[in-house]
Amino acid sequence: MLGMSDYSAPDAAERVAVSEDADGLEELLEKLRRFGFAVATLPLTSEPSVLLERMATWMKLGDPYVPMLYQGDDRYAKRYVDIRPNRAEDHPSFSTGAAQNWHIDGLLEPLGTIKTSLLYCVQPAAAGGRTIVFNSRRAFTELMIEDPEAAKVLLKPYILTRVSTLPGVTAEATGPVFGYDDDGELIGRYAEGGDTERWCPAEEDHEALKRARAYFAACCEADGPLRRAIGLVPGDCLIIRNHWVSHAREAFVDDMRRPRHLVRSLYLNELP
Protein backbone atom coordinates (compact mmCIF):
# COMPACT_ATOMS: atom_id res chain seq x y z
CA MET A 1 0.00 0.00 0.00
CA LEU A 2 1.51 3.32 -1.07
CA GLY A 3 0.24 5.14 1.98
CA MET A 4 2.62 3.11 4.16
CA SER A 5 5.38 2.25 1.68
CA ASP A 6 8.95 2.64 2.94
CA TYR A 7 11.24 4.80 0.79
CA SER A 8 14.29 3.51 2.65
CA ALA A 9 13.64 0.00 1.30
CA PRO A 10 16.67 -1.21 -0.68
CA ASP A 11 14.64 -1.66 -3.87
CA ALA A 12 12.72 1.65 -3.70
CA ALA A 13 14.95 3.45 -6.21
CA GLU A 14 16.29 0.43 -8.10
CA ARG A 15 16.07 0.96 -11.84
CA VAL A 16 13.81 -1.17 -13.98
CA ALA A 17 15.13 -1.83 -17.48
CA VAL A 18 12.34 -1.39 -20.03
CA SER A 19 13.11 -2.61 -23.54
CA GLU A 20 11.83 -1.28 -26.85
CA ASP A 21 9.31 -4.14 -26.74
CA ALA A 22 8.09 -3.03 -23.27
CA ASP A 23 9.76 -5.91 -21.47
CA GLY A 24 9.98 -4.85 -17.82
CA LEU A 25 6.82 -2.73 -17.93
CA GLU A 26 4.85 -4.84 -15.45
CA GLU A 27 7.68 -4.70 -12.92
CA LEU A 28 7.82 -0.93 -13.38
CA LEU A 29 4.07 -0.54 -12.84
CA GLU A 30 4.24 -2.67 -9.71
CA LYS A 31 6.90 -0.37 -8.24
CA LEU A 32 4.73 2.64 -9.09
CA ARG A 33 1.77 1.07 -7.29
CA ARG A 34 3.96 0.31 -4.30
CA PHE A 35 5.97 3.53 -3.95
CA GLY A 36 4.26 6.14 -6.10
CA PHE A 37 7.47 6.63 -8.08
CA ALA A 38 9.83 4.47 -10.11
CA VAL A 39 12.88 4.83 -12.34
CA ALA A 40 12.89 3.20 -15.77
CA THR A 41 16.07 2.72 -17.78
CA LEU A 42 15.30 3.17 -21.47
CA PRO A 43 17.39 2.24 -24.53
CA LEU A 44 19.35 5.25 -25.81
CA THR A 45 18.02 4.79 -29.34
CA SER A 46 15.65 7.72 -29.90
CA GLU A 47 15.04 11.37 -29.10
CA PRO A 48 13.72 12.05 -25.59
CA SER A 49 10.28 13.06 -26.86
CA VAL A 50 9.99 9.78 -28.76
CA LEU A 51 10.97 7.78 -25.69
CA LEU A 52 8.51 9.69 -23.49
CA GLU A 53 5.74 9.20 -26.04
CA ARG A 54 6.49 5.49 -26.08
CA MET A 55 6.36 5.31 -22.27
CA ALA A 56 3.07 7.20 -22.19
CA THR A 57 1.59 4.83 -24.76
CA TRP A 58 2.64 1.76 -22.80
CA MET A 59 1.18 3.19 -19.59
CA LYS A 60 -2.02 4.45 -21.30
CA LEU A 61 -1.40 8.03 -20.15
CA GLY A 62 -2.80 9.77 -23.24
CA ASP A 63 -1.35 12.96 -24.67
CA PRO A 64 0.94 15.24 -22.67
CA TYR A 65 -0.78 18.10 -20.85
CA VAL A 66 0.34 21.74 -20.83
CA PRO A 67 -0.27 23.26 -17.36
CA MET A 68 -2.54 26.28 -17.10
CA LEU A 69 0.37 28.49 -16.04
CA TYR A 70 2.08 27.94 -19.39
CA GLN A 71 -0.87 27.87 -21.76
CA GLY A 72 -0.53 30.77 -24.18
CA ASP A 73 3.17 31.29 -23.38
CA ASP A 74 5.27 30.25 -26.38
CA ARG A 75 8.32 29.73 -24.19
CA TYR A 76 6.79 26.98 -22.09
CA ALA A 77 3.55 25.86 -23.75
CA LYS A 78 5.16 22.66 -24.99
CA ARG A 79 4.21 19.04 -24.57
CA TYR A 80 7.84 18.14 -23.88
CA VAL A 81 9.68 20.78 -21.88
CA ASP A 82 13.47 21.03 -21.81
CA ILE A 83 14.79 21.73 -18.32
CA ARG A 84 18.30 23.09 -18.73
CA PRO A 85 20.26 26.32 -18.26
CA ASN A 86 19.13 28.87 -20.83
CA ARG A 87 20.12 32.52 -20.53
CA ALA A 88 17.49 33.46 -23.10
CA GLU A 89 14.71 32.35 -20.74
CA ASP A 90 13.81 33.58 -17.29
CA HIS A 91 11.99 30.65 -15.75
CA PRO A 92 12.75 30.83 -12.01
CA SER A 93 13.40 27.06 -11.77
CA PHE A 94 14.00 25.52 -15.19
CA SER A 95 16.70 27.94 -16.31
CA THR A 96 18.82 28.04 -13.14
CA GLY A 97 20.79 25.73 -10.91
CA ALA A 98 18.95 26.85 -7.79
CA ALA A 99 17.25 24.32 -5.56
CA GLN A 100 13.51 23.70 -5.97
CA ASN A 101 11.45 23.33 -2.83
CA TRP A 102 8.66 20.79 -2.21
CA HIS A 103 5.87 20.94 -4.76
CA ILE A 104 3.78 18.98 -7.21
CA ASP A 105 3.60 19.81 -10.90
CA GLY A 106 0.66 22.04 -11.84
CA LEU A 107 0.74 25.28 -9.85
CA LEU A 108 -2.73 26.47 -10.88
CA GLU A 109 -4.53 23.17 -11.43
CA PRO A 110 -7.15 21.98 -8.92
CA LEU A 111 -6.18 19.22 -6.52
CA GLY A 112 -5.59 15.93 -8.31
CA THR A 113 -5.62 17.26 -11.90
CA ILE A 114 -2.14 16.25 -13.08
CA LYS A 115 -1.74 12.64 -12.10
CA THR A 116 1.52 11.56 -13.72
CA SER A 117 4.88 13.26 -14.34
CA LEU A 118 7.67 11.82 -16.49
CA LEU A 119 11.20 13.21 -16.18
CA TYR A 120 13.79 11.90 -18.64
CA CYS A 121 17.51 12.46 -18.12
CA VAL A 122 19.60 13.45 -21.13
CA GLN A 123 22.55 14.71 -19.08
CA PRO A 124 22.96 15.03 -15.30
CA ALA A 125 24.64 17.98 -13.61
CA ALA A 126 28.34 17.90 -12.80
CA ALA A 127 27.42 18.04 -9.11
CA GLY A 128 24.06 18.02 -7.28
CA GLY A 129 20.72 18.29 -9.00
CA ARG A 130 19.18 15.12 -7.63
CA THR A 131 15.39 14.87 -7.61
CA ILE A 132 13.95 14.18 -4.15
CA VAL A 133 10.61 12.45 -3.67
CA PHE A 134 8.50 12.70 -0.52
CA ASN A 135 5.64 10.40 0.45
CA SER A 136 3.41 13.23 1.67
CA ARG A 137 0.37 10.89 1.73
CA ARG A 138 2.01 8.69 4.36
CA ALA A 139 3.01 11.80 6.34
CA PHE A 140 -0.59 13.00 6.30
CA THR A 141 -1.94 9.57 7.27
CA GLU A 142 0.43 9.35 10.23
CA LEU A 143 -0.28 12.94 11.29
CA MET A 144 -4.01 12.17 11.26
CA ILE A 145 -3.34 9.45 13.85
CA GLU A 146 -0.93 11.50 15.94
CA ASP A 147 -2.58 14.93 15.78
CA PRO A 148 -5.98 14.89 14.01
CA GLU A 149 -6.57 18.61 14.54
CA ALA A 150 -3.31 19.49 12.78
CA ALA A 151 -4.03 17.08 9.91
CA LYS A 152 -7.59 18.31 9.36
CA VAL A 153 -6.48 21.91 8.86
CA LEU A 154 -4.69 20.72 5.70
CA LEU A 155 -8.07 19.62 4.27
CA LYS A 156 -9.55 23.12 4.44
CA PRO A 157 -10.28 24.63 1.00
CA TYR A 158 -8.62 27.98 1.72
CA ILE A 159 -5.47 26.82 3.48
CA LEU A 160 -2.80 27.00 0.72
CA THR A 161 -2.40 29.40 -2.19
CA ARG A 162 0.21 28.70 -4.84
CA VAL A 163 1.50 31.81 -6.57
CA SER A 164 3.20 32.30 -9.94
CA THR A 165 6.79 33.56 -9.84
CA LEU A 166 7.14 33.76 -13.63
CA PRO A 167 8.18 37.30 -14.55
CA GLY A 168 5.21 39.27 -15.83
CA VAL A 169 2.69 36.56 -14.94
CA THR A 170 0.24 37.30 -12.12
CA ALA A 171 -1.69 34.17 -11.22
CA GLU A 172 -2.54 32.11 -8.17
CA ALA A 173 -4.73 29.22 -7.08
CA THR A 174 -6.11 28.43 -3.63
CA GLY A 175 -7.16 25.02 -2.34
CA PRO A 176 -6.60 22.31 0.25
CA VAL A 177 -3.29 20.53 0.68
CA PHE A 178 -5.02 17.15 0.82
CA GLY A 179 -8.41 15.81 -0.17
CA TYR A 180 -10.15 12.75 -1.55
CA ASP A 181 -10.99 11.85 -5.14
CA ASP A 182 -14.28 10.37 -6.36
CA ASP A 183 -13.13 6.89 -5.31
CA GLY A 184 -12.27 8.05 -1.79
CA GLU A 185 -8.52 7.90 -2.49
CA LEU A 186 -6.33 10.38 -0.59
CA ILE A 187 -4.64 12.86 -2.95
CA GLY A 188 -2.39 15.82 -2.25
CA ARG A 189 -0.64 18.99 -3.38
CA TYR A 190 1.86 19.48 -0.57
CA ALA A 191 4.21 22.37 -1.33
CA GLU A 192 6.50 24.17 1.08
CA GLY A 193 9.57 26.31 1.39
CA GLY A 194 9.48 28.56 -1.68
CA ASP A 195 8.10 31.79 -3.07
CA THR A 196 5.24 29.95 -4.79
CA GLU A 197 3.42 29.15 -1.51
CA ARG A 198 1.27 31.38 0.67
CA TRP A 199 -0.46 29.83 3.65
CA CYS A 200 -3.90 31.30 4.34
CA PRO A 201 -5.13 30.11 7.74
CA ALA A 202 -8.17 31.47 9.51
CA GLU A 203 -7.47 32.78 12.99
CA GLU A 204 -8.54 29.53 14.62
CA ASP A 205 -6.21 27.52 12.34
CA HIS A 206 -2.89 29.11 13.28
CA GLU A 207 -1.68 26.76 15.99
CA ALA A 208 -2.86 23.59 14.24
CA LEU A 209 -1.24 24.70 10.97
CA LYS A 210 2.00 25.50 12.76
CA ARG A 211 2.08 21.96 14.15
CA ALA A 212 1.22 20.42 10.77
CA ARG A 213 3.94 22.31 8.94
CA ALA A 214 6.51 21.43 11.59
CA TYR A 215 5.52 17.77 11.40
CA PHE A 216 5.94 17.68 7.63
CA ALA A 217 9.24 19.55 7.78
CA ALA A 218 10.61 16.94 10.19
CA CYS A 219 9.36 14.07 8.01
CA CYS A 220 11.14 15.28 4.87
CA GLU A 221 14.31 16.69 6.41
CA ALA A 222 16.52 13.74 5.47
CA ASP A 223 16.35 10.49 3.52
CA GLY A 224 14.37 7.83 5.34
CA PRO A 225 11.04 5.99 5.18
CA LEU A 226 9.25 9.00 3.62
CA ARG A 227 11.99 10.71 1.59
CA ARG A 228 14.41 9.55 -1.09
CA ALA A 229 16.94 11.47 -3.22
CA ILE A 230 17.42 10.07 -6.72
CA GLY A 231 20.35 10.83 -9.00
CA LEU A 232 19.39 10.25 -12.62
CA VAL A 233 21.84 9.23 -15.35
CA PRO A 234 21.40 9.37 -19.14
CA GLY A 235 18.55 7.10 -20.22
CA ASP A 236 16.77 7.18 -16.86
CA CYS A 237 13.10 8.16 -16.76
CA LEU A 238 11.67 9.05 -13.35
CA ILE A 239 7.92 8.48 -13.14
CA ILE A 240 6.00 10.17 -10.33
CA ARG A 241 2.36 9.82 -9.33
CA ASN A 242 2.05 13.58 -9.09
CA HIS A 243 -1.16 13.67 -7.05
CA TRP A 244 0.32 11.29 -4.47
CA VAL A 245 4.01 12.20 -4.17
CA SER A 246 5.63 15.63 -3.75
CA HIS A 247 9.09 16.29 -5.12
CA ALA A 248 11.96 18.77 -4.90
CA ARG A 249 15.37 19.33 -6.47
CA GLU A 250 18.83 19.88 -5.06
CA ALA A 251 20.83 22.88 -6.22
CA PHE A 252 23.42 21.92 -8.80
CA VAL A 253 26.64 22.99 -10.44
CA ASP A 254 27.05 22.50 -14.18
CA ASP A 255 29.89 21.72 -16.51
CA MET A 256 28.85 24.12 -19.25
CA ARG A 257 30.42 21.87 -21.88
CA ARG A 258 27.87 19.21 -20.83
CA PRO A 259 25.08 21.06 -19.00
CA ARG A 260 22.32 19.37 -17.06
CA HIS A 261 19.41 18.54 -19.38
CA LEU A 262 16.13 16.87 -18.47
CA VAL A 263 12.91 16.60 -20.48
CA ARG A 264 9.53 16.64 -18.71
CA SER A 265 6.02 15.70 -19.76
CA LEU A 266 2.81 15.72 -17.70
CA TYR A 267 -0.41 13.71 -17.97
CA LEU A 268 -3.98 13.89 -16.72
CA ASN A 269 -4.46 10.13 -16.74
CA GLU A 270 -3.91 7.78 -13.84
CA LEU A 271 -1.50 4.90 -14.19
CA PRO A 272 -3.14 1.50 -14.77
Query: Is residue 207 one of the residues assigned to a domain?
Result: yes
Average pLDDT of 107-118? 97
Task: Pick the range with the lowest mean pLDDT from 91-105, 155-169, 187-201, 241-255.
Answer: 91-105
Average pLDDT of 144-152? 98
pLDDT at residue 84 above 90? no
The pLDDT of residue 95? 75
Burial label for 68, CB within 10 Å (0-12, 13-18, 19+), is middle
Full-model pTM: 0.95
Query: Is residue 272 one of the residues assigned to a domain?
Result: no
With a pLDDT cut of 70, the percent of the chain lying above it is 97
Q: Give the dihedral of Cα atoms 168, 171, 177, 180; nearest 10 deg.
A: -130
CB 191 within 8 A of CB 185: no
pLDDT at residue 191 above 80? yes
Query: Is residue 259 one of the residues assigned to a domain?
Result: yes
The pLDDT of residue 89? 64
The pLDDT of residue 167? 84
pLDDT at residue 8 above 80? yes
Read out DSSP for the chain?
Answer: -GGG--TTSTTTT-EEE--TT-TTHHHHHHHHHHHSEEEEE--S-S-HHHHHHHHHHHTT--S----TTTTT-TTT--SSEEES--TT---TTTTS---EEEE-S-SSSPTT---EEEEEEEE--SEE--EEEE-HHHHHHHHHHH-HHHHHHTTSTTSEEEE--STT---EEEE-SEEE-TTS-EEE---BSSTTEEE---GGGHHHHHHHHHHHHHHTSSSBTTEEEE---TTEEEEEETTT-EEEE--EE--TTS--EEEEEEESSPP-
Q: Tally the domains of the chain.
A: 1
The pLDDT of residue 75? 78
pLDDT at residue 1 above 70? no
The pLDDT of residue 87? 58
Average pLDDT of 218-236? 96
Provide the residue range defining the domain that includes 187. Answer: 2-267
The pLDDT of residue 92? 75
The phi-psi region of residue 102 (left if phi > 0; otherwise alpha if psi is between -120 and 50; otherwise beta) is: beta
pLDDT at residue 2 above 60? no
Average pLDDT of 244-255? 95
Average pLDDT of 89-94? 74
Query: Is residue 61 one of the residues assigned to a domain?
Result: yes
pLDDT at residue 127 above 90? yes
Q: Which CATH number goes with the domain that contains 231?
A: 3.60.130.10
The pLDDT of residue 88? 61
Q: Which residue did the predictor score with more confidence, 48 or 76?
A: 48
Average pLDDT of 132-144? 97
The pLDDT of residue 74? 80
Average pLDDT of 83-110? 85
Express each pLDDT in 34-68 by its tens digit. 999 999 999 988 999 999 999 999 999 999 999 99
